[in-house]
Structure 1
């Protein structure tokens, strides 16, 4: 199989100093504990600008779409999006009704507007997501089924509206596929098998993501309800200038992360709600040898005013972080809100997970005014021993973490920090915070310069 326009060399040739970071931004920058890292947030937000679109509507029903929940509208969506794109852009409008479809591919300068009362419901037939496309599957590049909504090397794209995007993945083959051929793909990634030869798809049972933007820029997702994905819900890969606002993700049916920012930069996720079967907002950058080869970090990310409910982490880094993660900020977010309890309680407010298979550097993760209740396990869980710590000897680095004004009532452990003897966690400041109804003591291993300042656990100042 030839890469043709989906040429992997155009992806693997990117570096942290190349397309994904603006000129003058040094990838190795990391604030120490002696200065306030939050001074950079206004500068990051000034660089995140949602796209604007031509004032011209393209109603999918004008291209033959029927909102009866039975007619398959794949061709109608394709024709509407293509016409909008070729005319210079505008809004492709999905009106009230239930519109069944196969895969949707978005193009530059197109806003897909799902109106209130409208539902885009995706087919449960895997053949409706062919031909295979270049994707990143849990941190490893390959060819797989097209994500339900996919954009490749496009710019100025939006998904908007108060309607619903329903993957319908409680039905069809998706629940039975589970891990599929994950082990084979991992092997190919470790061996450095050429990406064009990593062909998954038919017979490999690798679930497609719900929405994926691959090497795109100037992106907006707002107001929609995204539910029932086959896998991750909203996945940004090698992308830049990202705004996610006022959305709700309901993904309790699958391995359903909320928002995954994967080797992507300058992102603002805000005023959104997450009810997931996995992590809520996740920062990633590739897995193991394949992630190190590509070597593109995720950087300059701001998450604020969100509500987190889910089986694992609220704000999560990893585990696929081999390309590095830098300058992540999360503030004014609520864990397990009484008015938004979710199907599962969050296990960790902050969840940083990696191991010695990953390598890579996490440098500069900052939380402020994160509050909530009834965290199931460790509130702050930072560990290099994910999946028993791995075996390959690529020891990761975790440096420069700050947690300020956190208020959590209920949890097993307030803080677990576990580094390796060969690679300590360094520079952690927990300040102005209160943790109450905690049942077990902190667990701290191989962590240097951990400071508790004006902070109590069950009313006691930590040693």
Structure 2
């Protein structure tokens, strides 16, 4: 087999021994297994509250928000149990979960969510792309609750489309036309969030909702503990699909997400601790999984990273990235693990991606990825970018740090398919130690146009990395 040397701009090569690395690697994997084994799954009393008994009608047109809420209140006041959505199609507005409630969407049941923004009032506390705000309620929401779940083999359908929520993106690709309002309008939406954050406006002054055009998340909970989402199918989200915030002990298992609208990230834990994602299918309009911890000062001030997260046995189809960290990562991330996943689609941009910049800051430390099968990506198999979105945001004063990344066993074969642009793309910040201690081993990529594009990386080690049939070495 041929061997080629990879010339890396401004990179320093580590002397870290591979035997020591392997020992540390296995120790860390053992630690995360122990952590997720200790996550307490929600447990519910054997009591059932059928929403039909509270007046819900499965005709697909009657708004059942009140009936579902009454069932949830009765359930929590009785000490908990299961709120049952039986077979049929039920239209609803916002659903707010409460302590000890399992919302069970039965096989053959569909919860369809209204596309009328007024059905998601009053405003609730949340984060929108990492910034604190009061906005429309997520379609399913909880605040400060314990021991809650969404389970079943049924479907929850946000009905997001190019004639309702998606136009607020401000993109003609999703139905927006000149003269229509959007989240990009001056003084509204994203510009308002940026202003509030830069001025450090108090949370109670950050009132969005009507006239701001910030789409609600599909499922989001904040300040919650012991949460499980299992078995359901989620379709057509207005915005991010599942977004836990400042919560801990989360299980996301056996869920199928099919949502190709704008910003349809699949699973976005933000400043969360102890998270297990397993046996899920992601077919999304944005990142399949994107790990967050706040945007700029709204993340830096509380300084709560996302930590202790395991992703395993998942399938990633369409999306901007398979497993992604960032870009709203200002409080950092640590102890993030992914293994035994499949990623492939002509519309999947990257398999593994870390994205941040010097406005975000934050330390991402301890990323472990192994045994990933990649069928096809467009941009790069592995990408670490500390210069993300600098064209629009410029260079800031908060240098991010990405360090101690261990990647092994990624197999990517794009032979006979549209090739990826790069095998590896690693871009640090000139003059700063923004990326260091990157260990990539036992990887094989075929069918990429260019081997790598690497700059401003300290301590990069490549061992048994084969790209287009040739072993590459860092130099």
Q: TM-score, normalised by structure 1?
A: 0.90
* 8 Å Cα contact 2:451-2:467 kept in structure 1: no
With 400-409 and 44-53 compared, the bigger mean Cα shift is at 44-53
* 8 Å Cα contact 1:47-1:266 kept in structure 2: no
Q: Which residue of structure 2 lines up, in the alignment, with residue 432 of structure 1?
A: 442
Deviation at 1:239, TM superposition (A): 0.5
Q: Which residue of structure 1 lines up, in the alignment, with residue 354 of structure 2?
A: 352
Q: How does 1:305-316 map to 2 (within 5 A)?
A: 305-316=313-324
- Secondary structure at the aligned position of 1:404 is classed as strand
Q: Which residue of structure 1 lines up, in the alignment, with residue 427 of structure 2?
A: 418
Q: Which residue of structure 2 lines up, in the alignment, with residue 269 of structure 1?
A: 277
Q: Which residue of structure 1 lines up, in the alignment, with residue 452 of structure 2?
A: 442
* 8 Å Cα contact 2:248-2:274 kept in structure 1: yes
Q: 1:34 to 1:397 in 2, by over 3 A?
A: farther
Deviation at 1:47, TM superposition (A): 2.2
Q: Whole-Å Cα distance in 2 between the matches of residues 422 and 431 of structure 1?
A: 25
Q: 1:33 to 1:423 in 2, by over 3 A?
A: farther
Q: Which residue of structure 1 lines up, in the alignment, with residue 379 of structure 2?
A: 377
With 290-299 and 263-272 compared, the bigger mean Cα shift is at 290-299
Runs of 4+, deviation exceeding 3 Å: 31-34
Q: Which residue of structure 2 lines up, in the alignment, with residue 399 of structure 1?
A: 403
Deviation at 1:278, TM superposition (A): 0.2
Q: Whole-Å Cα distance in 2 between the matches of residues 245 and 164 of structure 1?
A: 15
Gaps of 5+ in 2: 1-19, 170-181, 184-188, 415-419
Q: What's the CA shift string for 1:124-171, capped at 9, x where partnerless?
A: 110000000000000000100000000000000000000000000116
Q: Whole-Å Cα distance in 2 between the matches of residues 123 and 323 of structure 1?
A: 35
- Secondary structure at the aligned position of 1:350 is classed as strand
* 8 Å Cα contact 1:32-1:400 kept in structure 2: no
Q: 1:147 to 1:32 in 2, by over 3 A?
A: farther
Deviation at 1:293, TM superposition (A): 1.2
Q: CA RMSD in A?
A: 1.4
Q: Which residue of structure 2 lines up, in the alignment, with residue 113 of structure 1?
A: 104
Q: How does 1:149-160 map to 2 (within 5 A)?
A: 149-160=140-151
- Secondary structure at the aligned position of 1:312 is classed as strand
- Secondary structure at the aligned position of 1:150 is classed as strand
Q: Whole-Å Cα distance in 1 between the matches of residues 397 and 73 of structure 2?
A: 48
Deviation at 1:310, TM superposition (A): 2.3
Q: Which residue of structure 2 lines up, in the alignment, with residue 7 of structure 1?
A: none
Q: TM-score, normalised by structure 2?
A: 0.88
With 303-312 and 262-271 compared, the bigger mean Cα shift is at 303-312
Deviation at 1:39, TM superposition (A): 2.5
Deviation at 1:71, TM superposition (A): 0.5
Q: Whole-Å Cα distance in 1 between the matches of residues 301 and 377 of structure 2?
A: 36
Deviation at 1:45, TM superposition (A): 1.6
* 8 Å Cα contact 1:431-1:453 kept in structure 2: yes
* 8 Å Cα contact 2:239-2:261 kept in structure 1: no
Gaps of 5+ in 1: 1-30
Q: What's the CA shift string for 1:96-139, capped at 9, x where partnerless?
A: 11100010000010000000000000001100000000000000
Deviation at 1:441, TM superposition (A): 2.5
Q: Which residue of structure 1 lines up, in the alignment, with residue 231 of structure 2?
A: 223
Aligned counterpart in structure 2 of residue 281 of structure 1, from 267, 279, 289? 289
* 8 Å Cα contact 2:413-2:447 kept in structure 1: yes
Aligned counterpart in structure 2 of residue 46 of structure 1, from 25, 37, 48? 37
Q: Which residue of structure 1 lines up, in the alignment, with residue 72 of structure 2?
A: 81
Aligned counterpart in structure 1 of residue 212 of structure 2, from 204, 207, 216? 204
- Secondary structure at the aligned position of 1:369 is classed as strand
- Secondary structure at the aligned position of 1:131 is classed as coil
Relative contact order: is structure 1 or structure 2 higher (C-alpha 8 Å, sep ≥ 6)? Answer: 2
Deviation at 1:388, TM superposition (A): 2.1
Q: Which residue of structure 2 lines up, in the alignment, with residue 190 of structure 1?
A: 198
Q: Whole-Å Cα distance in 2 between the matches of residues 163 and 182 of structure 1?
A: 34
With 445-454 and 240-249 compared, the bigger mean Cα shift is at 445-454
Q: Which residue of structure 2 lines up, in the alignment, with residue 56 of structure 1?
A: 47
* 8 Å Cα contact 1:359-1:397 kept in structure 2: yes
Q: Which residue of structure 2 lines up, in the alignment, with residue 35 of structure 1?
A: 24
Q: Whole-Å Cα distance in 2 between the matches of residues 387 and 122 of structure 1?
A: 33
Deviation at 1:362, TM superposition (A): 0.4
Q: Whole-Å Cα distance in 1 between the matches of residues 119 and 299 of structure 2?
A: 29
Q: Which residue of structure 1 lines up, in the alignment, with residue 247 of structure 2?
A: 239
Q: Whole-Å Cα distance in 1 between the matches of residues 115 and 354 of structure 2?
A: 34
Deviation at 1:424, TM superposition (A): 3.2
Alignment partner of 1:368 is 2:378? no
Q: Whole-Å Cα distance in 1 between the matches of residues 313 and 198 of structure 2?
A: 39
* 8 Å Cα contact 1:104-1:148 kept in structure 2: yes
Deviation at 1:186, TM superposition (A): 1.3
Q: Whole-Å Cα distance in 2 between the matches of residues 172 and 135 of structure 1?
A: 25
Q: Which residue of structure 1 lines up, in the alignment, with residue 334 of structure 2?
A: 326
Q: Which residue of structure 2 lines up, in the alignment, with residue 27 of structure 1?
A: none
Q: Whole-Å Cα distance in 2 between the matches of residues 145 and 406 of structure 1?
A: 40
